[in-house]
Amino acid sequence: MKKIVVVGGGAGGLELVTKLGKKLGRKEKAHITLIDKNTTHVWKPLLHEIAVGTMDEGVDAVSYRAHAFANHFHFRIGTMTDIDRTNHQVVLAPMFDEDGQELLPETRIDYDMLVLAMGSSSNDFNTPGVKDHCIFLDGPGQAHRFRNKLLGKFLRIQRVPGVRDSVNIAIVGAGATGVELSAELHHAVHKFHTYGFDAVDNEHLNVTLIEAGGRILPALPERISASASRELAKLGVNIKLNTRITAAQQDGLETGEGEKIEADLMVWAAGVKVPDVLKNIGGIETNRINQLPVNAYLQVKGEANIFAIGDCAEFVQTDGNRVPPRAQAAHQMADICYHNIRAQLDGGKKKVFQYKDHGSLVSLANYSTVGSLMGNLSRGTLFIEGRLARVVYISLYRMHQLAVHGYIKTGLLMLSGSINRWLKPKLKLH
């Protein structure tokens, strides 16, 4: 029985291993294994909502072990440190408990076919002090850390007599994560006020959004950028453009012009890179942000049995542009990778990957949503905002849920979500 190993349970990896398990694992045509350093999956575009407490990840998170059991694949928790291409093995680091005692020694997992779907993390560009003083919204752990610090600041305003200080939050990087977090923070303050923090209101929240370029959302069309800027300005977000951060300190950020931006909480969302472990892993050449170059079939160049999908794959399109690190790209790559793995096993014909940009949407909490629809969804580019854009934005998450859970379970999740909006608090306060 062929052994297929998928490393990384993000959007693309989880969708791929689910489909492989249903089609091959259930019929015992292949032994499917997912490896991830975490025990649960959370859709990355929702991390800003977890960070401010407007989403309870305990409800939406997917347990890898339970999902593996239900979908006929196997799950191994661990962190990949190397690939032994000679012996066709993935090397996992030893695991230790909280007291530093070794739980598991270094482990090797055999593979016949390997898929690398490790996603990306924040790129601090080696800026001094950033790793020590800034929070990166790369996973639920960092989101929890931000929420706990935010709760602590608001609690002080609420409970200490005479203290009415503002909470100064600086967000470096005005891409989708930075813009959405800026809006979500103001949305959350209204809910904090409802749940006993009556001394806290928007006057106590100062959000500064910092961008090195000339406009926010630089990767998206200028019209989307302008619309989002207007909405953030209405909320009171201070947008600083053409501002380069040169260092981070405990109490703020230093700019290239020598200015000090004071902050109680700092979030770094200025760029992405693939985890350093992939840099020339197993002797495979990688690019400057550690991506693995892949061919038209998503195979790592020079390795017929190793595929790469999602943010960790460098796919150069026919026009010379690289596929952007977006959830829709990971979803499309997972579909093609699944087909090509089946074709390779059965001796069939592989499909060439072609990225289709269906547009971009940015959610400004409950205030607005702006974006554009492209490709099959409209003729040319259609700019949308407001309620229609919000519906489309939510539908992107539903598409991911459908790929992971199927129609029946996704429908039940939607129903339970509607019920929970009545039964549970609208803000996670712990």
pLDDT at 399: 86
User: In the listed set 254, 272, 290, which residue is the last one of a domain according to the structure?
Assistant: 272
Same domain, 307 and 186: no
Residuewise pLDDT in 10s, the chain (430 residues): 899 999 999 999 999 999 999 999 999 999 999 999 999 998 888 888 888 877 777 777 899 999 999 999 999 999 999 999 999 999 999 999 888 899 889 999 999 999 999 999 888 999 999 999 999 988 888 998 998 898 888 888 777 766 657 889 999 999 888 998 998 888 888 777 666 676 677 778 899 999 999 999 887 888 888 888 988 998 889 999 999 999 999 999 999 999 999 999 999 999 888 989 999 999 999 999 999 999 999 999 889 999 999 999 999 998 888 998 888 899 999 999 999 999 999 999 999 999 988 777 677 765 556 665 554 444 445 555 566 666 677 777 888 889 899 999 989 888 887 787 776 665 565 5
Asked if residue 227 belongs to a domain, the reply is yes
Burial 201-235, CB ≥16 within 10 A → b, else e: eeebbbbbbbbbbebbbeebbeebbebbbebbeeb
Asked if residue 125 belongs to a domain, the reply is no
In 281-407, beta strands by DSSP E: 292-293, 306-308, 313-314, 359-364, 368-373, 382-385
Same domain, 134 and 225: yes
The three-point CA angle 322-141-245 to 5° equals 55
pLDDT at 426: 59
CA-to-CA distance for 413 and 187, rounded, in angstroms? 24
Encoding tokens for residue 424? Answer: 């549970």
Same domain, 342 and 283: yes
CA-to-CA distance for 217 and 329, rounded, in angstroms? 18
Give the CATH number of the domain where residue 41 resides. 3.50.50.60
Same domain, 144 and 266: yes
Same domain, 9 and 80: yes
Asked if residue 46 belongs to a domain, the reply is yes
Same domain, 43 and 175: no
Whether the model clears a pTM of 0.75, i.e. scores above it, the answer is yes
Same domain, 135 and 207: yes
Asked if residue 353 belongs to a domain, the reply is no
CA-to-CA distance for 42 and 397, rounded, in angstroms? 11
Same domain, 293 and 397: no
Asked if residue 175 belongs to a domain, the reply is yes
Same domain, 249 and 267: yes
Q: For residue 311, what are the CA distances in angstroms to 61, 77, 293, 328, 394?
A: 21, 21, 11, 11, 22
Same domain, 139 and 220: yes
Residues, the chain: 430
CA-to-CA distance for 106 and 113, rounded, in angstroms? 21
User: In the listed set 346, 377, 410, which residue is the last one of a domain according to the structure?
Assistant: 346
Number of structural domains found in the chain: 3
Same domain, 152 and 251: yes
The closest of 86, 151, 64 to 429, measured between CA atoms, is 151
Give the DSSP letter string of 117-146: ----EE--TT-TTHHHH-B--SSHHHHHHH
Asked if residue 66 belongs to a domain, the reply is yes
CA-to-CA distance for 342 and 16, rounded, in angstroms? 12
The closest of 171, 193, 303, 297 to 239, measured between CA atoms, is 171
Encoding tokens for residue 367? Answer: 């205030």
Same domain, 92 and 155: no
pLDDT at 162: 62
Q: Are 264 and 250 in contact (CB under 8 A)?
A: no
Asked if residue 428 belongs to a domain, the reply is no
DSSP helix/strand/coil, 238: strand
User: In the listed set 222, 249, 272, which residue is the last one of a domain according to the structure?
Assistant: 272
pLDDT at 382: 54
Residue with tokens 């919000």: 390
Determine the structural domain holding residue 378 and report its residue range: 359-423
Asked if residue 177 belongs to a domain, the reply is yes
pLDDT at 415: 86
Cβ neighbours of 179 (radius 10 Å): 31
